[in-house]
């Protein structure tokens, strides 16, 4: 099928449209993104893929990362991303380390550098570390020869855009900057579909005529493929705060369910039966109600702690304590999981081989940032268990996460080989491949009594029990042979 859109030809290749720009058409906009990470890379790839009239350049201080973006082996695993990058790269999507040139040549700059939790000084362990954002703003000011729109993609504390505007506007070369907030709501593992068909796009701007003009430029970029009723606008601070609050609400649902899972285990109720009944209330909804060993990922904990820090700053102690409870329950859930393993495996894990099924913080990603598996692995090693870790995409990150930790740990990609000889399997990540394994075969190779601790409630517990396993789900009565 061939359709013509503006100056673009779209041809169907392998089910995905392949876009070709007519060579004679110049690019109508130069877009730069600073930070080629989990957010910057896929977001820019999607803009380039959808809008061949724009030139999109992604720069990063890390040359290895850029080399990977330019190779067949992308730095992040994200279903469908390969095809999107392949379609646009070299045509109107470019990855480069030339930050200075990138800044000079662009009219819209997205900033997507990381903003981890601060590890030092005031607000350590809670506030966002803004050093990369600050440094980036100064670089933009230094190298800019013309006015630009700066788009905050990183998740930042409320009022950061204002601070950045102050850094940016203190130049005396007549160059003007408008700072917009445009938080990214994509979730890893579904980034491509989230970017292609988002629930909403949020753009925060100052309400001055110039701010509103800048906002409209960004609206036009997204309107290339997103219906206008899904593009919402607000003031900058509401937009910055919305991102923190959206993540806090999502994480709060998981902590609420996980708190109730502890009660279910004591009260012989079944968390999946409870959440099904609760989630069918259309006012609550069914999503994000899966009990688990705990939430992970780069955002939830960091953003809630950031929210807590802001509330404390404004002397809102009760509000801060309320949200901090979400993180505390998440820590409690991981600790509960370990203590349960220890207790049911006869109060000692020393020299017992334990196999972790999955290490990524969720399925369909190789990302392990804040993965509950990290804490579980470290605690198991403290108990002197011999660990075997298997994961289809995250073993390299797992090795980095556990580097230097005292204890025995090995990494084996094949789950059958990994489980052989172990006393217990602890399922950490809901990879669908773990649902389809031959557990009869696995059971035969394991030490007895054999245990399964299903940290995601995805396995067929009665079938495992029938096979001979002692099964410990989350928030349900265990199925044991003793």
User: CB of residue 299 vs ligand UDX: minimum separation in angstroms?
Assistant: 4
Residues 6+ apart with CB under 8 A from 298: 38, 114, 367, 369, 370
Task: Give CA–CA dist 214/220, Å, rounded.
Answer: 10
Identified binder of ligand UDX from the candidate list 117, 247, 261, 368, rule CB under 6 A: 247
Looking at residues 37 to 66 of the shown chain, list those that interact with ligand UDX (rule: CB under 6 A).
37-40, 60-62, 65
Alpha helix stretches (DSSP H) within 207-270:
209-222, 236-267
Among 199, 254, 265, residue whose Cα is nearest residue 370 = 254
Could you tell me the smallest distance in angstroms from the CB atom of residue 61 to ligand UDX?
4
Of 36 and 221, nearer to ligand UDX (C-beta) is 36
Q: Which residue is nearest to ligand UDX (CB)?
A: 37
What is the layout of strands, in order, in the sheet containing 231-235?
93-96, 54-59, 29-34, 108-111, 148-152, 177-181, 201-205, 231-235
Structure tokens at 341: 């393993």
Confirm if 36 and 73 have CB atoms less than 8 A apart.
no
Please, are residues 38 and 188 in contact by the beta-carbon 8 Å criterion? Answer: yes
Minimum CB distance to ligand UDX, residue 60 (Å): 4
Minimum gap (Å) between residue 131 Cβ and ligand UDX: 8
- Residue 463 structure tokens: 């079938």
Tokens of 309: 């820090």
Dist CA 293 CA 473 (whole Å): 10
Quote the DSSP letter at residue 479: B
Tell me the sheet residues that pair with 234.
Answer: 204
Place of tokens 């390969």: 82
Question: Cβ(393)–Cβ(76) under 8 Å?
Answer: no
Structure tokens at 418: 């990994």
Rounded least distance, CB 422 to ligand UDX, Å:
23
Q: Are 168 and 179 in contact, with CB atoms under 8 Å apart? A: yes
Q: How many residues bind ligand UDX (CB under 6 A)?
A: 40
Q: Does position 295 bind ligand UDX by CB under 6 A?
A: yes
- Catalytic positions: 299
- Give least dist CB 264 to ligand UDX, A: 15
Site for ligand UDX in 183-242 (CB under 6 A): 184-188
Residue 230 or 384: the one with the smaller Cβ distance to ligand UDX is 230
**C-alpha 143: how far from chain center:** 31
* 3-class secondary structure, 459: coil
Pick the closer one to ligand UDX by CB: 180 or 345.
180
Which parts of 280-371 fold into alpha helices (H)? Answer: 300-313, 317-344
Residue number, 40 or 123, with CB nearest to ligand UDX: 40
Asked if 81 is part of the footprint of ligand UDX (rule: CB under 6 A), the reply reads no
Query: Among 57, 83, 114, 182, which residue interacts with ligand UDX (rule: CB under 6 A)?
Result: 114
Joined tokens for residue 400:
């980095």
When asked if residue 140 is in the footprint of ligand UDX (CB under 6 A), the reply is no
Q: Which is nearer to ligand UDX, 165 or 364 (CB)?
A: 364
Asked if residue 362 binds ligand UDX (CB under 6 A), the reply is yes
Out of 144, 155, 272, 467, the residue judged to bind ligand UDX by CB under 6 A:
155
By C-beta, is 148 or 334 nearer to ligand UDX?
A: 334
Site string for ligand UDX, 395-434 (x = CB under 6 A): ----------------------------------------
Q: How far is the CB of 420 from ligand UDX (least distance, A)?
A: 27
> In angstroms, rounded to a whole number, what is the distance separating the alpha carbons of residues 358 and 294?
14
Do 116 and 130 contact (CB within 8 A), yes or no? no
Per-position x/- string for 86-105, each x denoting binding to ligand UDX as judged by CB under 6 A, each - no binding: --------------------
**Residue of 211, 296, 366, 455 interacting with ligand UDX (CB under 6 A):** 296
Query: Binding ligand UDX by CB under 6 A: which of 83, 106, 144, 154?
Result: 154
H/E element, 445: helix 439-445
Residues making contact with ligand UDX (CB under 6 A): 34-40, 60-62, 65, 112-115, 132, 135-136, 154-155, 184-188, 247, 250, 254, 288-290, 292, 295-300, 361-362
């Amino acid at each position: 099928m061939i359709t013509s859109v503006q100056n673009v030809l779209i041809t169907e290749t392998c089910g995905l449209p392949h876009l070709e720009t007519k060579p004679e058409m110049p690019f109508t906009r130069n877009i730069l993104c600073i930070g080629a990470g989990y957010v910057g890379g896929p977001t820019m790839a999607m803009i380039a893929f959808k809008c061949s009239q724009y030139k999109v350049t992604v720069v990063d201080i890390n040359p290895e990362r850029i080399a990977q973006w330019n190779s067949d082996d992308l730095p992040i695993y994200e279903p469908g991303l390969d095809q999107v990058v392949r379609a646009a790269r070299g045509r109107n999507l470019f990855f480069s380390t030339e930050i200075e040139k990138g800044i000079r040549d662009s009219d819209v700059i997205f900033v997507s550098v990381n903003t981890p939790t601060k590890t030092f000084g005031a607000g350590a362990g809670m506030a966002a570390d803004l050093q990369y954002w600050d440094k980036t703003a100064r670089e933009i000011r230094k190298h800019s020869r013309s006015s630009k729109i700066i788009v905050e993609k990183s998740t930042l504390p409320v009022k950061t855009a204002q601070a950045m505007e102050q850094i940016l506007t203190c130049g005396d070369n007549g160059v003007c900057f408008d700072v917009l907030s445009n938080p990214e709501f994509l979730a890893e593992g579904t980034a491509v579909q989230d970017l292609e068909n988002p629930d909403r796009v949020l753009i925060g701007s100052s309400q001055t005529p110039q701010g509103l003009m800048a906002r409209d430029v960004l609206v036009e970029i997204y309107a290339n493929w997103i219906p206008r009723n899904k593009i919402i606008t607000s003031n900058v601070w509401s937009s910055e705060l919305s991102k923190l609050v959206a993540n806090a609400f999502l994480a709060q649902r998981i902590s609420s369910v996980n708190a109730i899972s502890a009660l279910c285990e004591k009260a012989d109720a079944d968390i999946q039966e409870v959440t099904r009944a609760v989630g069918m209330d259309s006012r609550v909804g069914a999503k994000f109600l899966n009990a688990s060993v705990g939430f992970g990922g780069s955002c939830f904990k960091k953003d809630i702690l950031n929210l807590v820090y802001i509330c404390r700053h404004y002397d809102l102690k009760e509000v801060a304590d309320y949200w901090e409870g979400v993180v505390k329950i998440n820590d409690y859930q991981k600790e509960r999981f370990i203590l349960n393993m220890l207790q049911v495996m006869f109060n000692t894990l020393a020299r017992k081989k334990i196999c972790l099924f999955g290490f990524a913080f969720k399925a369909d990603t190789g990302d392990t940032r804040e993965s509950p598996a990290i804490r579980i692995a470290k605690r198991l090693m403290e108990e002197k268990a011999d660990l075997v870790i298997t994961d289809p995409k995250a073993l390299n990150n797992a090795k980095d996460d556990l580097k230097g930790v005292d204890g025995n740990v090995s990494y084996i990609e094949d789950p059958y080989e990994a489980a052989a000889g172990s006393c217990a399997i602890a399922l950490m990540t809901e990879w669908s491949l773990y649902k389809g394994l031959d557990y009869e075969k696995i059971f035969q190779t394991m030490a007895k009594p054999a245990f399964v601790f299903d940290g995601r409630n995805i396995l067929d517990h009665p079938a495992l029990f029938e096979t001979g396993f002692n099964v410990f789900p989350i928030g349900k009565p265990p199925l044991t042979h003793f």
